[in-house]
Amino acid sequence: MLFNAYDPGDFYDELFVSKGHPRAEAELLIRRVNAMSLVQLKQRQQAVQNALFKLGVTFNVYSDNQGTERIFPFDVIPRIVPGHEWTWLEKGLKQRIYALNCFIHDIYNDQKILRDGVIPRHVVESAPGFLKPCMGLKPPGNIWCHITGTDLVRDRDGTWYVLEDNMRCPSGVSYVLENRRVMKTTFPHLFAAMDIAAVDDYASQLLETLLNLVPETLINPRVAVLTPGVYNSAYFEHSFLAQQIGAELVEGRDLVVSDGYLKMRTTKGLERVDVMYRRIDDDFIDPQAFRSDSLLGVPGLLEVYRAGRVAIANALGTGVADDKLTYAYVPQMIRYYMDEDQIIPNVPTFICEDPTQQAHVLAHLDQLVVKATNASGGYGMLVGPHATEEERQEFGDRIRANPRGYIAQPTLCLSRVPTLIGDGLEGCHVDLRPYILYGQDIYVNPGGLTRVALKRGSLVVNSSQGGGSKDTWVVNSVDPNAQLPV
Amino acid sequence: MLSRVADSIYWMNRYVERAENVARFVDVNLNLLLDAPPGMEQQWEPLVITTGDQKLFQERYGEASADNILRFLTFDREYPNSIISCLRSARENARSVREVISSEMWEQVNAFYLMVNEAADQGLLSELHAFFPEVKMASHLFAGVMDATMAHTEGWHFGQLGRLLERADKTGRILDVKYYILLPAVTDVGSPLDDLQWIALLKSASAYEMYRKSQYRITPRGVTEFLIINREFPRSIQFCLIQAEQSLHQISGTTSGTWRTASDRALGRLRSELDYLTIEEVTERGLHEFLDDLQVRLNEVGDQIFADFFALEPL
């Protein structure tokens, strides 16, 4: 009985209420795993890892100059989200994305929210993701953030929070799809006995979201996915998504602006591209308009885009919403544009450019998490309680030197899920990144990517920092009389 | 189809085929040596000569010992045409076009690379007798998987083109190995040893059984004819050229016997010359000279394909 020794401890455990008492939705899973020996469970884990490696589901590590690929470590014990909770999360995510989209459209056009003083003007204008050249832009349907991956976490008491929004090029959805594929072969009986929401329609939904951007008059539109190339850490995903939706996978060097259109070099000459799902950050996408040292983008693209001759997802300029200072104002946006209360709360956030709040942050560095407002991926942050005095000193100096550049939040105690570590099951901290598509309607893929911190006690779940992933099961109902192999 | 993608599919196939053929011509030499009478000098240098990379070899290794040459051709990661390097390049190309090729193709080329990589990590030259057949089989698997799972559209034809041109070139080189090995001992012609060598040569091109079915007796003339101008045997040079030309016509949209691009013309002309070639003419010119010239012509075809389809510059 593998779970006999498992103790959820003083944490919110996603599978257990308390030691020996699984949550209702997790009961069958626990029963199934308990029927296995440690050797069997490890064999399955190994089989899954091998399958992923053979499929080439790998990522590249930036700091590793060998250019070696690694498989994103995968744990066989899934994370379960009860159906009723998911319904609530889905509603909250739709609300948030709708409001953020209104916000982005507004600040690049009428700037009502700034003129009404709801958000200070300098907050937006000083955000590195705010792109002046995008002023006046009206993308098709006024939709800017077509694809979002929003990071959610749960605190010790079980409360859900939104940790951050990723509106430029969120990655990871390919792992959701591939993880599910291998899990279905690992635990087929559980999938039969439990009503687990399917994730497979993501590709169709993504394609529809992209096709929604072309005028109906255009027959046979051409969709392309723009990747920085094979050495990018998320290359597998770019290629996987292009394959799943039947799009061309292009690099900057395949593209050229000619006769006012975006075109790609083919064996039969230049051919037009109508929709581009770009997986390159704003800064790099057009060396004429933004970073001139970029080799990844297409010179002149912005002009074609502004003229409405190519649609780009996500729209250029959405990075402003990824800024962690902008994040702090999302509740105000929801109130302003929708006249609603925020459904899923933000993590309480201290704004370091406010003198009072800064003083509080500096006095409590040993309790807070400090984050650079323009960074992501677990880079540029200080986890106060785990940091050394020196590191805290250094961050304090950084905050004083550049208050706009930092926010601080209480250190949340992330919820945990049992995970196979060494020769037993241990609770490991997780977050959850659901993927949201904004096309004709807003669609949320059920579940999302559960990232797990595989280092004992660690709160950092990013793949670049030793994190792994788990399959996420949104469980609507469970057949209590299911026959499972013993 | 994107030029870059076409280019990658073409090279992915060329590299897989190249790895297979390096395995073939090293394997034939290993086999020849097993049958060689005691005291006969081992002939390894010809292998490096046929690759055309002897200068690089000398810089990196100096002495042309069996071990050095085997290491150079199979596991040397710095030498771009070694088996491991070919597989790494094939896989890199495959990785950049994963969304275009079938998943099965990717999985096969990835598994192939991982197999060779593991062998290279161990670096055991004593295991090569088992390793080369594995390489050949993995390459066949790749070709078969591609044939059976990828739509036979433009991309597939670029792949075929790459594989067939590479194979034509390498069949020529395998024949050339025999030329170099024979050279120091012209008096051996017709001896039992000579017979064994020709058999080994046929086997290295998987041609032995098919040859027997077509003409029983093994003669130098028969073997060269079979490997150069036979129209039905899939590793003969002319077979490769005929098939490659068909794929090229599918790509360029012209009918056989006509041309629109310079590559149509270069390949079509070469193929039609071989149509009317007799083996007497080859012997008259000298086999080695003939093969040398053929390699130059094949390189020209490759250059033209690059210029016509891959190197598109906007106006």
- pLDDT tens digits for range A338-353: 999 999 999 999 999 9
Whether the predicted pLDDT of A81 surpasses 80: yes
Confidence of residue A59 (pLDDT cuts 50, 70, 90): low
Contacts of A249 in chain B (CB under 8 A): 5, 97, 99-100
| Residue with the larger pLDDT of the pair B196 and A223 | A223
Burial class (CB in 10 A: 0-12, 13-18, 19+), A363: exposed
Interface of A with B (CB under 8 A): 54-56, 225, 229-230, 235-236, 239-240, 242-243, 247-251, 253-254, 256, 258, 263-270
User: What residues pair up with A420 in beta bridges, in sequence order?
Assistant: A425
Whether the predicted pLDDT of A256 surpasses 60: yes
Counting one residue from A and one from B, how many pairs have CB atoms under 8 Å apart?
A: 69
Burial class (CB in 10 A: 0-12, 13-18, 19+), A109: middle
- Structure tokens given for A258: 């000619």
B12 vs A397: CA distance, rounded Å = 53
Best mean pLDDT range from A56-60, A339-343, B69-73: A339-343
Q: Compute the mean pLDDT over every residue in chain A, rounded to the nearest whole number.
A: 90
Beta strand A467-478 with A449-453 is: antiparallel
Q: Compute the mean pLDDT over every residue in chain B, rounded to the nearest whole number.
A: 88
Do residues B27 and B173 make contact, with C-beta atoms less than 8 angstroms apart? Answer: no
What mean pLDDT do residues A70-80 have? 88
| Chain-chain contact of B251 with A254 (C-beta, under 8 angstroms) | no
| Chain-chain contact of A270 with B4 (C-beta, under 8 angstroms) | no
- Structure tokens given for A210: 């992209």
Whether the predicted pLDDT of A66 surpasses 60: no
> Considering CB atoms only, which of B2, B97, B107 is closest to A54?
B107
| Residue with the larger pLDDT of the pair B186 and B116 | B116
Confidence of residue B38 (pLDDT cuts 50, 70, 90): low
pLDDT given for residue A177 in this prediction: 93
Confidence of residue A463 (pLDDT cuts 50, 70, 90): low
Measured in angstroms, the CA of A190 and the nearest CA of chain B are apart by: 27
Share of chain A above pLDDT 90, in %: 66
pLDDT given for residue A446 in this prediction: 96
Beta strand A255-258 with A223-226 is: unpaired
Do residues A153 and A163 make contact, with C-beta atoms less than 8 angstroms apart? Answer: yes
- Tell me what ipTM this predicted complex has: 0.73
Whether the predicted pLDDT of A328 surpasses 90: yes
| Residue with the larger pLDDT of the pair B286 and A480 | B286
| Chain-chain contact of A266 with B1 (C-beta, under 8 angstroms) | yes
| Chain-chain contact of B2 with A258 (C-beta, under 8 angstroms) | no
Per-residue pLDDT tens for A347-395?
A: 999 999 999 999 999 999 999 999 998 876 566 788 888 889 999 999 8
What mean pLDDT do residues B114-131 have? 88
